[in-house]
Structure 1
Amino acid sequence: MKKHTREENDTAVKSRYFSIETFFKTPANANKRLKPSASDLQVENAIKELEETKEQCPLCRLWILTTSVSMEVHVNQCLDKEQEREKENIPPSQENDSSICGKDVQSCQQEKDSTPVADDSKPPPSLWKSMFSLAAGSTAALASVLGARDVNTNILPAKNPPAGGKRKYKPCPFYKRVRDTRFTVDAFSYGRIADCEGYFLTHFHADHYGGLRASWTHGPIYCSQVTANLVKQELRVDPRRVHPLPMNQLCPIPGSDVQVALIDANHCPGSVLFLFVLSNQKRHLHTGDFRAAPRMCLHPLIKQPENPPLNSLHLDTTYLSPQYAFPAQDECIQAVCDLVRMEVGVTPKTKKPSLLESWIHTETPQPVEQENPMTSKDDAFQRMMDPNNRRPAAASRVLIVVGTYTIGKERVFINIARMLKCKIYAPSKKRRILECQQDDELNNMLTGNPLEAQVHVVPLREIRADIMSNYLKQHRPQFTSLVAFKPSGWTYKSAPAQTSVMKMAPLFQVIAPPVDRAVRLQPYYKRDGVKLVGVPYSEHSSFRELASFVASLDVQHIIPTVNVGQLPAMSAFLDKWQEDKRAKRIQVVDYPNQEHW
């Protein structure tokens, strides 16, 4: 073998760009301070502006850029993570109720809530040795040391508490305070607020109740009855702290000169608008999360000019952008039911023949089998197994799956089940949450047997091709195909041309109803008996509905409560709408029915 000389070796490593010697040499100007260029300063300013638009997730404590992703989207991902525990069917009352990290849920919640508001800290030096001495493949142990950093993870390692053992809370933002009162709305993640005498909760979504836990002692909690049921059952808050209020009537709040009315928010079960009426006749309306509808503006306590103007309106601005002009809920539900009807082969019921037609008819009528009240023939599973069933075999062998959040999207799967006259399968934890709604019709539909129901409810994030394919395999041969619906307003975006027009359009043009209101659904995935369908169904107000809601009310000040990092852009729309209203008499915008514009 030929031996390389030193000269040949030196030649082998030489490069026209650098050599080994020059690579390790310090440049002559390395210690000189470089003057930043104008472009560098622009970048630094842009980074500072982005840092100012961050908000902290109340679940995983990560800081989110609200200009790139809505806080609601991120929190919904955290909520979906919690639903993974549904597969284990572990009731919350068990003492050894374990989470992903192996600790009890309450301890993990206390860890999260004790986390100081600061940038993620590095592991202490003492942990580095144990970190790198872990056996190969010990992923779980490594994760326990490093801590989860995925945005979908809702459990993070506890950080060193600040001196004194007390957590440093961020101050309560202005949009969570009700003017002229000592009350806050959805402000549970800011610790004890010194001047707050009552904490109001609009609905049971974690980005609104974040910080509320079993050890809560900061003050009374006011909410609807359904939300109170969930707070006591799921969070185990002391019932003495929870004060459910009746709907649609003014109720005095003890120790204050304020009356509060709860109005259905059309968002999720138990969600409400809070109308605060002060003794000096000032009125403040907080929408929480809501899907605006004409019936809200027609409510006896809100309708104008029968009632005084609103001094302030705390508005859910999740979709305050012209690209989100998605259709009404009723239109989406009708489109879903039409597609299901086509997939399962359900035909409209034939008209019952009249007495005269029965006499003329020559065929012998078939005897009607008496229905056993203990075993309803309306169940999809029984219809499938009934040999005398005249419906096509494929009609009862199509599995309908609907994605949902912890609470929400109920109207979609309930209306499908009504049409099919079948049961609804949901895991045990989901059933417990649904039962808190105190809806007898829904409770009669629910079942814990997946083979007994033709409609199944799963977490929204599981509406994926791979997961749904495996889901269908698990339920064969009872079901031969599957249609999964993913209801979310984020699945819809207006055409670019329409969006650009709506940006500069006056209010009367924004609130004009669309010419074509038909919703046409097409699967975005179709393979091996599995179809995935996106539905532009949202439980937040669309851009046009927000405009219609604002146009129907006399409001002095509008305060956005979502995506506050985009306040200048949102204020441009709101200020323009307020200005366009000044020249006209305030009245409810025309509507096809009281449920939508």
Structure 2
Amino acid sequence: MWPQILPFVVDTWTPASSLKRHRFLTHAHRDHLVGISTDATCLTILITLRIYPDIHRAAFVELEAGAPPLRVPDPDDDFTVTAFDANHCTSAVVFLFEGPAFGTILHTGDCRLTPDCLHALPLQRGIDYVYLDCTFARCPLYFPSKEDSIRQVINCIWRHPNAPVVYLACDMLGQEDVLIEVSRTFGSKIHVVRDKTPDCHANLSLVAPDILTFDPTSRFHVMPFSRLTERTAEILALARARGQPEPLIVWQSSR
């Protein structure tokens, strides 16, 4: 049974959670930031502040994956928290909480625990409680590695040499590696419209500014995931109406 009274919460920003003395953020995906307003590696902080500029930077304490445990003073009992790489998106972490009041708790947030990630965890210490990301626990599908997924995207583009434009529906935090590898492989910058995909532009400005371009004649464009079906239909219909070769639209997804 999960301990009922803890001095902290993770990825929770409700009015009730504000009563907790400590709050932790595993990564900067929007679904984990719902409700955050006034109250994380350095990059997570920067990305979060880009999305929610009204948050005070002083509300954050930086904790990097692989860093020594951070001691958290608490009136009930001090505890430590250690961050490990979650292999999910840029700066995503797994938290290990250790304290005499509640034991040892492993909180995975959203994770992709490859063998390397598992070996980095101090599982030999013994874990009292595990909060595990079970999003795809019952999914019978095989999920390729990140490297294999990126390779599939690259191969798909190679197979369509006549596509004058390649639209990449890769505007989520964590998909930067796809865009970086596409840019490197094909020697081309990626066109990102700041007004249409502001979060993607902000993220790439931090992690890979060299691949960005404002030149609309670039072959590679980031397109928003929202309304993807409608946007795809509009793009293809426009190309046909103009008598142009069909563009290539690439969408990476677990769906």
**TM-score of the pair, normalised by structure 1:** 0.38
- Matched with 1:232 is 49
Q: Secondary structure at the match of 1:461?
A: coil
State the distance in 2 between where 1:257 and 1:179 align.
18
Structure 2 counterpart of 1:207? 31
Tell me the residue number matched to 2:13: 188
**1:433 corresponds to which of 203, 206, 209:** 203
Q: Is the 8 A contact 1:224 1:262 kept in 2?
A: no
**Other-structure match for 2:234:** 467
Task: Work out whether residues 10 and 26 of structure 2, in 8 Å CA contact, stay in contact via their aligned partners in 1.
Answer: yes
Q: Does 1:316 align with 2:133?
A: yes
Partner of residue 539, structure 1? none
- Cα distance in 1 for partners of 2:17, 2:112 equals 31
- Give yes or no for the alignment of 1:418 onto 2:184: yes
Where do residues 490-505 of structure 1 align in structure 2 (5 Å cutoff)?
Answer: 490=255
Q: What residue in structure 2 maps to residue 283 of structure 1?
A: 104
- Aligned to 2:61, the other structure's residue is in SS state strand
Q: Secondary structure at the match of 1:275?
A: strand
Contact kept, 8 Å, 2:205 with 2:212, in 1: the verdict is no
Q: Does 1:487 align with 2:243?
A: no
The DSSP-based 3-state class of the residue aligned with 1:310 is coil
How big is the shift at 1:466?
1.3
Q: Measure, in 2, the Cα distance between the counterparts of 1:259 and 1:455.
A: 45
1:19-54 deviation line (CA, Å, top 9, x unaligned): xxxxxxxxxxxxxxxxxxxxxxxxxxxxxxxxxxxx
* 2:214 alignment partner AA: G
Percent of pairs with identical residues: 22
- Give the drift of 1:296: 1.3
CA separation of 1:433 and 1:191: change in aligned 2, threshold 3 A:
farther
- Answer yes or no: is the 8 Å Cα contact 2:236–2:246 preserved in 1: no
The equivalences for 1:447-596 within 5 A come to: 447-451=213-217, 453-464=218-229, 465-469=232-236, 480-490=245-255
- Give, as a single letter, the amino acid of the residue that structure 1 aligns with 2:36: L
User: What residue number does 2:66 align with?
Assistant: 248
Distance 2:183 2:219 in 1: 8
Residue 343 of structure 1 aligns to a residue whose secondary structure is coil
Q: Which string of whole-angstrom CA distances, capped at 9 and with x for unpartnered residues, describes residues 419-465 of structure 1? A: 101101112223123223xx2xx2101112221x3221111234433
Report the CA distance shift for 1:332/1:254 in structure 2 as closer, same or farther (over 3 A).
Answer: same
Matched-pair contact (CA < 8 Å) for 1:267–1:290: yes
Which runs of 5 or more residues in structure 2 are unaligned?
Answer: none
Bigger relative contact order, structure 1 or 2, given CA contacts below 8 A and separation 6+? 1
Deviations 1:233-280, CA, capped at 9 Å, x for gaps: 221201121222222121212335222122221212121111112258
Contact preservation (8 Å) 2:170, 2:179: no
For residues 192 and 336 of structure 1, do their structure 2 counterparts lie closer, same or farther at Cα, with a shift above 3 Å needed?
closer
What is the number of residues matched between the two proteins?
245
Does the CA-based 8 Å contact 2:26-2:109 persist in structure 1? yes
Amino acid at match of 1:189: T
Aligned residue for 2:89?
268
> Structure 1: which 5+ residue stretches go unaligned?
1-173, 345-393, 491-597
Question: Larger Rg: 1 or 2?
Answer: 1
Q: 1:332 Cα shift?
A: 2.1
The 2-side partners of 1:282 and 1:471 are apart by 60
Alignment partner of 1:244: what SS? coil
Q: SS where residue 298 of structure 1 aligns?
A: helix
Distance 1:470 1:427 in 2: 21
CA distance in 2, matches of 1:209, 1:485: 27
Q: Which AA in structure 2 matches 1:182?
A: P
The question of whether the paired residues in 1 share the 8 Å contact of 2:81 and 2:97 is answered with yes
SS of the residue 1:333 aligns to: helix
AA aligned to 1:425 is: H
Instruction: Please list the CA deviations of residues 316-366 of structure 1 after superposition, one character each: whole Å capped at 9, or x if unmatched.
Output: 11111143333332222212211212222xxxxxxxxxxxxxxxxxxxxxx
Q: Distance in 2 between matches of 1:432 and 1:211?
A: 21
1:377-404 Cα distance to aligned partner (Å, 9 max, x none): xxxxxxxxxxxxxxxxx4xx63221113
SS at match of 1:243: coil
Normalising by the residue count of structure 2, what TM-score does the alignment of the two structures yield? 0.84
Specify the code of the residue in structure 2 equivalent to 1:467: E
Which residue identity does 2:43 align to in structure 1? V
Q: Match of 2:72, as an amino acid?
A: I
Following the alignment from structure 1 to structure 2, what is the Cα–Cα distance between the partners of residues 331 and 262? 26
SS of residue in 1 equivalent to 2:35: coil
Q: Partner of 2:174 in structure 1?
A: 408
SS in 1 for 2:247: strand
> CA 1:293 to 1:259, structure 2 compared with 1: closer, same or farther past 3 Å?
same
1:410 positional shift: 2.1
Amino acid of the residue matched to residue 170 of structure 2? T
Distance 1:179 1:424 in 2: 48
* 1:162-201 matches, cutoff 5 A: 181-194=6-19, 196-201=20-25
In 1: Cα distance, 2:6 partner to 2:17 partner: 16
**Quick check: 2:7–2:21 contact (8 Å CA) kept in 1?**
yes
